[in-house]
Amino acid sequence: MILLGDLMVQLSSKWARTQLWIFGLIVVIFCSANEYLLPSPLFWIPIGIYCLFNAYLELIVSAIFITPGPAKESLDSVGWQSHMRDFDRITTHIQTFRQQHTAPLIVLLHGWRGSSASVQGRAEWFVNQGWHVVLCELPGHGKSTRVARWNALTAVKHIQFHIKNLHKLIEPQVVSHVFFYGHSMGGYICTRLSIDKNNIPYDLPLSGLILESPLMLYSKILNEIRDRLMIPNFLRSLHMRRVFRDVKTMHPSITLTGIEQFDVPQWGVPSVPTLCLQAMTDTRLGRDHYDATVKMLSQSDNLTHHLIESMTHSGARTNEEREHHLRVWLNTLESIVVS
């Protein structure tokens, strides 16, 4: 027998719980107005208040799972192959550029509300260096399937699966090294993926991680959303418990201890050589995420980081300073030489 809570999760609308409580409120108003069952309003008023309170609470719980909005166009350029890969009822759009020789491979992940076209300039820079390049569009972005309750854990789960199966798109014998490159939200996801060697394809170690203006403090983003929703302080603890309830339903294997587990260092500290390229004036994320990255990752002696005055958070399809730092860093890595 399916419990009511499980049934609600299976409904396609993320507003289903809110709608249920509103329906309950309508029933209470109808019964009270028509003196149905019990004529006394003192019986119905507390029930009505309870339904109204839960309708509001479920509304702001659902609202925290914001969706990316209208999808941006995907990259459309000569030499790129497009693949639609299915996993767990979601289709992920992956684009590949395969060189005709053995070469390093880099997986690029775009940021929030971006697409493969958003990182086209970065991708083509690596193509011009003779690398294989893989562009994965996050769930709800580009041509990938939209999801009702977007969250980073779902994105990690799907990108993780497809990266582990890249051998089906580019054969192992032509791949010499594997790198990850993540911009903004993509950097957040790449950081998580980089800490587990089982996430690296081709049975190779991860040679390096590149983070561009990365999001590293998810709790800060959640608090910004809660501020925009004007959630009262006295409700925030209860609100987060219900958010975690929904996250746990979507990801039952995850142990939820608190919002801090979604921030660096609990989210993950890479053990591979890491390059962080940060827009000096970051109008989207500010400097907090970069500062946290430097503080936590510098302890492992694997981090190289630069503040780039000429680079903005988004856009910047090409940037001479960024490409200079990329070239210098890559040339310092053993057996990796960029021409």
* 247 vs 65: CA distance, rounded Å: 10
H/E run at residue 188:
helix 185-194
**Average of per-residue pLDDT across 107-135:** 96
Residue 268 Ramachandran class (φ > 0 left, ψ -120 to 50 alpha, else beta): left
Which is more confidently placed, 32 or 207? 207
Cα of first residue to Cα of last residue in the chain, in angstroms, is 63
Can the peptide bond before residue 104 be classed as cis, meaning omega within 30 degrees of 0? no
DSSP state string for 44-71: HHHHHHHHHHHHHHHHHHHHHS----SP
Kindly report the backbone phi and psi dihedral angles of residue 96, in degrees, each rounded to the nearest multiple of 5, phi listed first.
-130, 145
DSSP state string for 123-137: HHHHHHTT-EEEEEP
How much is the pLDDT for 74? 96
Longest dimension (CA), the chain: 84
Instruction: Encode pLDDT of 4-43 as tens digits.
Output: 444 444 445 688 899 999 999 999 888 888 777 666 777 8
Are residues 210 and 179 in contact, defined by beta-carbon separation less than 8 angstroms? yes
Count of other CB atoms within 10 angstroms of residue 287: 14
How much is the pLDDT for 44? 83
Q: Which long-range contacts (CB under 8 A, 24 or more apart) does 63-66 make?
A: 63/225, 63/229, 64/222, 64/225, 64/226, 64/229, 64/239, 64/243, 65/14, 65/148, 65/149, 65/150, 65/151, 65/246, 66/150, 66/225
- Sequence-distant (≥ 6) Cβ neighbours of residue 128 within 8 angstroms: none
Kindly report the backbone phi and psi dihedral angles of residue 212, in degrees, each rounded to the nearest multiple of 5, phi listed first.
-115, 120
Smallest Cα–Cα separation from 181: which of 171, 170, 167, 193? 193
Domains of the chain: 1-64+227-262 (no CATH), 81-217+265-332 (3.40.50.1820)
* 80 vs 115: CA distance, rounded Å: 15
Instruction: Encode pLDDT of 227-237 as tens digits.
Output: 999 999 999 99
For residue 86, pLDDT beyond 80? yes
Dihedral (Cα; 264, 269, 273, 276), 10-degree rounding:
0
* 130 vs 224: CA distance, rounded Å: 41
List 96's β-bridge partners, or say none: 81, 134
How much is the pLDDT for 38? 67
Instruction: Encode pLDDT of 171-198 as tens digits.
Output: 999 999 999 999 999 999 999 999 999 9
